[in-house]
Structure 1
Amino acid sequence: MTADGVRIAYQPRGGGPAGPTPLLLLSGQSNSHRWWDRVRDDFEATRRTVTLDYRGTGDSDKPDEAYSTEGFAEDVIAVLDHLGVERADVYGTSMGGRVAQWVAARHPGRVRALVLGCTSPGGPHAFERGNDIRMALAGPDPAVARQTLLDLMYTPRWQAAHEGPFNTLGDPAMPPYARRRHLVASNRHDAWDVLPGITAPTLVLHGDDDRFNPTANAALIAGRIPGARLRLIPGARHAYFEEFRALAGPLVLDFLDSPDFLDPSVSASALS
């Protein structure tokens, strides 16, 4: 239960040892924790993971009120508080990366390491997707909009080899008003001024063929956060973490286990 009385669903999981810092996974806009279903196992041999459903998604409450990425970040902190987790490694993709920026900037003591995937700083400095993409996604034909989104997420080769459901296309149970609220929250995100204050070691990941959230945003973020590392994944689109999981997952784990900042004394206190 958050300070404003909203119930947030969360899902701690994993067979990793209790000692290492837990890994918090933050999903994209209008998506529940199911966003991570295809790749979550990749982290759980060595890590305990925590996901959550943003307000408006999954099993969380869905108040018809203004949402924001800053507000979602405070919901994240409420979940960590409830679990008794003092510090976590935070991996956010797409809008989850926007939320993660606020978590790291506003609560630096709660984030040991930060991974920002296929995301944007928002605001006037960010690179926006083209109007052709916006029009196709907002068009009157749902089938065209869905295929447009699939093509932005995955390469044709991957689509041909995989059947649905595609959990990155949105939470099908969301009410329409909540979808609109999520869209506005993501569009209004602007963390440009606070990025230089992020102190957690940061890895920025992005597909180099991402038109949904243009790849140029990765360099913007990496250049704005002191000491951030940048890795582009060749040929990957927006859902790089799923289609290119064999590369992306190890990149994340190698970064989180880096001896440059590994602190074995930090652990989760309540994830069972």
Structure 2
Amino acid sequence: MAVVAVHRAVLGGGRPTLPYAEAGRPGDRPPLVLVHGYADSWWTFEPVLRALPSALHAYAPTQRGHGDADKPAEGYLPEDFADDLVALLDHLGVERAVLVGGSSGGVQARIVAGRRPDRIAGLVLLGVPALLADKPGVTGFREAVRALEDPVDRDFADGFVRGLGVAGVAPGFLETMVGESLKVPARVWRETLRGLLETDLAATLTGILVPTLVVWGDRDPLLTRSDQQVILDAIPDSRFLVHEGAGHVVYWEDPERVARELVAFTAALRG
């Protein structure tokens, strides 16, 4: 089991300061950079980080506006989060990384993979939507988010976390994730969702030429297999793994399996 340490990255240049977790030690392979999704934080990957072998180096940042990261007044488009990721790689001195995007965090991860292939050795998408505005329930959820006020209602955050189709996840961990969601101001809930819904997500799938692994739980209440097929059709060098019986957040439900899959994917990368 890897030891997880938490640091802060002062990105400078007007960019926010971001906490990040680190596990494992530097080696010959590119490190993993795990990118969390909407209303989340680095804690979402804590079980995976602990399950990774110490020989595999990994980072998991908390993105702007989320968790204990700085919360600037603006900058919540997917492109803003993507630019922060590149700045984080620069700060860490990482020339090339394997980006691992969880849920909507995969949108900014694939933006970086498409725009900066010189910095990305591989891409892993864990329950990441190909498209979002077409999903059932999005209109109602957006209206609910528009009505949020600070402090965000705990019942709302609890319903959001537990509505992700999780099974067999420790209650204490779910409580941690609810607490992390409550750290997100109402304006960040609104602006981040607006950015996801108003961005052309299909365009963020173009130009990705790095090896890509797409992972999906077949009981995901948000994403269908056909949605995942859109990703597979758009990215030439992509493979598909299905977690049978799993919901949206496969890395909560079976972190040990996800860790094994990340190890195998990284080991198979060329160069």
Shorter-normalised TM-score: what interval?
0.7 to 0.9
TM-score (norm 1): 0.82
Q: Higher relative CO (CA 8 A, sep ≥ 6), structure 1 or 2?
A: 1
TM-score (norm 2): 0.83
Determine if the alignment matches structure 1 residue 9 to structure 2 residue 21. Answer: no
The one-letter amino acid paired with 2:40 is N
- What percentage of aligned pairs have identical amino acids? 29
Match for residue 242 of structure 1? Answer: 252
Match for residue 262 of structure 2? Answer: 252
Counterpart selection for 1:97 from 97, 102, 106: 106
Match for residue 41 of structure 1? Answer: 50
Q: After alignment, is 213-222 or 64-73 more displaced?
A: 213-222
CA distance in 1, matches of 2:132, 2:246: 25
Deviation sequence 1:7-45 (CA, Å, 0-9, x none): 231425223343221110000112121111122112242
Counterpart selection for 1:57 from 61, 66, 72: 66
Cα pair distance change 1:123/1:209, threshold 3 Å: closer
Aligned ranges 1:192-207 → 2 under 5 Å: 192-207=202-217
Counterpart selection for 1:146 from 158, 173, 178: 158
Cα pair distance change 1:246/1:53, threshold 3 Å: closer
CA distance in 1, matches of 2:28, 2:217: 32
Q: Is 2:157–2:182's contact at 8 Å kept on the other side of the alignment?
A: no
Match for residue 267 of structure 1? Answer: none
SS at 1:37 equivalent: helix
Aligned ranges 1:258-269 → 2 under 5 Å: 258=268, 261-263=269-271
Q: Which has the higher strand share?
A: 2
Structure 2 unaligned regions, length at least 5: 1-9
The one-letter amino acid paired with 1:262 is R
Determine if the alignment matches structure 1 residue 18 to structure 2 residue 1. Answer: no
Cα pair distance change 1:134/1:50, threshold 3 Å: same
Cα pair distance change 1:84/1:35, threshold 3 Å: same
CA distance in 1, matches of 2:51, 2:106: 19
Counterpart selection for 1:29 from 23, 29, 38: 38
Superposition deviation, residue 167 in structure 1: 4.2
SS at 2:98 equivalent: strand
Superposition deviation, residue 97 in structure 1: 0.6
Match for residue 190 of structure 1? Answer: 200
Structure 1 unaligned regions, length at least 5: 264-272
Count of equivalent residues:
256
CA distance in 1, matches of 2:250, 2:103: 11
Superposition deviation, residue 199 in structure 1: 1.1
The one-letter amino acid paired with 1:218 is Q
Counterpart selection for 1:213 from 223, 245, 249: 223
Cα pair distance change 1:216/1:57, threshold 3 Å: same
SS at 2:242 equivalent: strand
Cα pair distance change 1:86/1:187, threshold 3 Å: same
